[in-house]
Amino acid sequence: MDWKNKTVLVTGGTGSFGRAFIRILLEEYKPEKVIVFSRDELKQHEMRVAGFDQANLRYFIGDIRDLPRLTRAMDGVDVVVHAAALKQVPACEYNPMEAIKTNILGTSNVVEAALECRVEKVMALSTDKAVSPANLYGATKLAAEKLTVQSNAYSGDRPTRFSCVRYGNVVGSRGSVVPMFIRQRQSGAITITDERMTRFWLSLEQGVKFVLRCIEQMQGGEVFVPKLPSTTLTDLARVIAPDAKLEIIGIRPGEKLHEMLISEDEARTTRELDDMYVIQPAQGPFFVHAWEKKGKALPEGFRYASDENQQRLSEKEIAALIAPFEAEIQAAG
């Protein structure tokens, strides 16, 4: 795929992922134009001040709940990366209709606008919390995934293809437990909901590079899942604050003890490649089934869960993963 003649629009472009994605896209792939689509004018201003002021970068103020504005923004766009979402679990629980309007209806608007504007590729970002969801955030992301994948059926003679990327916790993203642990370290005590809790982890750069590679390979209808390491939150806390006391406060409403990236039911239509899994739709379009020749089937009863994951982070690997973000926090004072 030649990015140099492509126009790329990123919903939620001022978020943690959006900023990292746009930086790497501009520096390494050099597309013809990049459009930041977000609803916060202050964050867009802060991006410009931070150096995101390239001649081929455009800023659109808009909300994915606003279909006419999305349609206007997607005019002439080749690739859409859909990263906009309400993702704070407690906020989504307390404001359920707002989460539904943004995460589900907003995704529907992205689909409608992309079809109307004949966008070539739409890649939506999802989360491990969409698998067997225990909270509203996960339920809305599951619905958004289903909506995105099934929308390939609406393409008809249009070139538009829709796929998803699903991964685990991003170190240092907004709402991540890592900055909270760093702040709590100063008090000498770190709070953990359950000492057995495990999570999948990846860095922002890893997430961005994976999304870019999946956009290049997507045929439409797939859910791409990277192979990721896991760790317990206890191990994470001990690396960040080895001398701090660990306080167990109990699992919060909507929180899981362990997360899952592929369920047993999904595993039946999943192909395993060297560094990722590709979940094919159970009744997908004809062009998705080329993955049958590119990967291998998973064994009966397979599930990709953070507690059963054989790839575990060592203390040294945890330290390396959080080091860039910790340095950033310390530099900011």
Alpha carbon distances (Å) from 103 to 60, 158, 208, 302: 19, 25, 20, 29
Torsion of CA 64, 69, 72, 75, to 10 degrees: 0
Question: Coil, helix or strand for 322?
Answer: helix
Verify whether residue 296 is a known catalytic residue.
no
> Is there a contact between 110 and 154 (Cβ–Cβ < 8 Å)?
no
Nearest to 199 by CA among 128, 263, 284, 143: 128
Selected catalytic residue, list 6, 87, 121, 129: 129
Angle at 161 between CA 160 and CA 164, to 5 degrees: 140
Q: Count of CB atoms within 10 A of residue 225's CB?
A: 27
For residue 143, which of 177, 92, 200 has the smallest C-alpha distance?
Answer: 92
Tokens representing residue 94 in the block: 């307390």
Q: Do residues 125 and 88 lie in contact, with contact meaning Cβ atoms separated by under 8 Å?
A: no
Ranges of H-type helices in the chain: 16-24, 41-49, 67-73, 89-94, 96-99, 106-116, 136-150, 177-185, 204-217, 233-240, 264-267, 315-331
> Which of 178, 170, 176, 198 is closest to 309 using CA atoms?
198
- Based on its alpha-carbon atoms, the radius of gyration of the chain, rounded to whole angstroms, reads 20
Tell me which residues are annotated as active site: 129
